[in-house]
């Protein structure tokens, strides 16, 4: 992935100012900086949750900022995001929260009625097991500690079968 002069402005405030870097795969990269430096905004632009004001993002020769519709949704599925606020559905159980990671690539009818097959449920349980919280699979998300909720959010991102994972404040909890 190659990022060149990526910029984000909110009115007169420049949140991200001409950031450039390249990442070879597979690689783990950390971005550090003080609070308010634009790290979260940068990740949201990479995932296309926030539009850039300028610059470019290129992956395997593709202009990521030009993607629209299905191609943009596919990029977002391939580029999973673990948010600082975990965005879990508090009243749903843990395994259902993890299964929600698949909705982006799922049919509308199945998405509306949360129809998940046994194979997919087994996959979610395996992800929870890998993260050491399979024992909480049937608990409501709101009953978990912050660290456990973070692991549920990671498992949900893994359910997208991403090519890349972006984590905002991954060790905060």
Distance CA 118, CA 68 (A): 33
- The more confidently predicted of residues 26 and 148 is 148
For residue 60 the two structure tokens come to 């395997």
DSSP for residue 104: G
Query: For residue 39, what pLDDT is reported?
Result: 93
Query: For residue 108, what pLDDT is reported?
Result: 54
Same domain flag for 49 and 99: no
Domain-terminating residue out of 16, 47, 66? 66
Please state, as a whole number, how many other Cβ atoms lie within 10 Å of the Cβ of residue 116: 20
User: How many domains does the structure of the chain reveal?
Assistant: 2
Same domain flag for 57 and 100: no
Query: For residue 92, what pLDDT is reported?
Result: 93
Same domain flag for 54 and 106: no
- Please answer whether residues 162 and 80 qualify as being in contact, where contact means their C-beta atoms are separated by less than 8 angstroms: yes
Q: What is the CATH number of the domain that holds 12?
A: 3.40.50.300
DSSP for residue 89: -
Same domain flag for 62 and 112: no
Position 72 in a domain: no
Same domain flag for 62 and 104: no
Same domain flag for 98 and 158: yes
DSSP for residue 93: B
Give the DSSP H/E element, type plus range, for residue 57.
strand 54-59
Same domain flag for 57 and 98: no
Query: For residue 2, what pLDDT is reported?
Result: 97
- Please answer whether residues 55 and 6 qualify as being in contact, where contact means their C-beta atoms are separated by less than 8 angstroms: yes
Domain-terminating residue out of 46, 66, 86? 66
Distance CA 99, CA 157 (A): 9
Same domain flag for 62 and 108: no
* Residues 63-116: tens digit of each pLDDT: 999 999 999 989 998 998 888 788 899 999 999 999 988 876 665 555 555 677
Output the average pLDDT for the chain.
Answer: 89
Question: What's the domain range around 57?
Answer: 2-66
- Please answer whether residues 144 and 137 qualify as being in contact, where contact means their C-beta atoms are separated by less than 8 angstroms: no
For residue 166 the two structure tokens come to 């972006």
Is the predicted pLDDT of residue 27 greater than 90, yes or no? no
Query: For residue 138, what pLDDT is reported?
Result: 96
CB contact set of 89 (below 8 Å; sequence gap of 6+): 96, 97, 100, 141
């Amino acid at each position: 992935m190659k990022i060149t002069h990526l910029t984000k402005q909110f009115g007169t405030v420049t949140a991200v100012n001409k950031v450039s870097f390249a990442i070879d795969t597979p690689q783990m990269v950390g971005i550090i900086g003080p609070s308010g430096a634009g790290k979260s905004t940068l990740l949201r632009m990479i995932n296309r949750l926030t539009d850039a004001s300028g610059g470019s993002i290129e992956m395997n020769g593709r202009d990521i900022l030009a993607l629209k519709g299905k191609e943009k949704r596919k990029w977002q599925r391939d580029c999973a995001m673990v948010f600082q606020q975990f965005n879990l559905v508090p009243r749903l159980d843990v395994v259902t929260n993890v299964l929600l990671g698949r909705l982006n690539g799922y049919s509308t009818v199945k998405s509306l009625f949360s129809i998940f097959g046994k194979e997919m449920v087994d996959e979610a349980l395996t992800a929870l097991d890998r993260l050491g919280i399979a024992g909480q699979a049937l608990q409501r998300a709101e009953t978990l500690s912050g660290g456990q909720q973070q692991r549920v959010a990671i498992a949900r991102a893994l359910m997208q079968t991403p090519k890349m994972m972006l984590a905002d404040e991954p060790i905060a909890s």
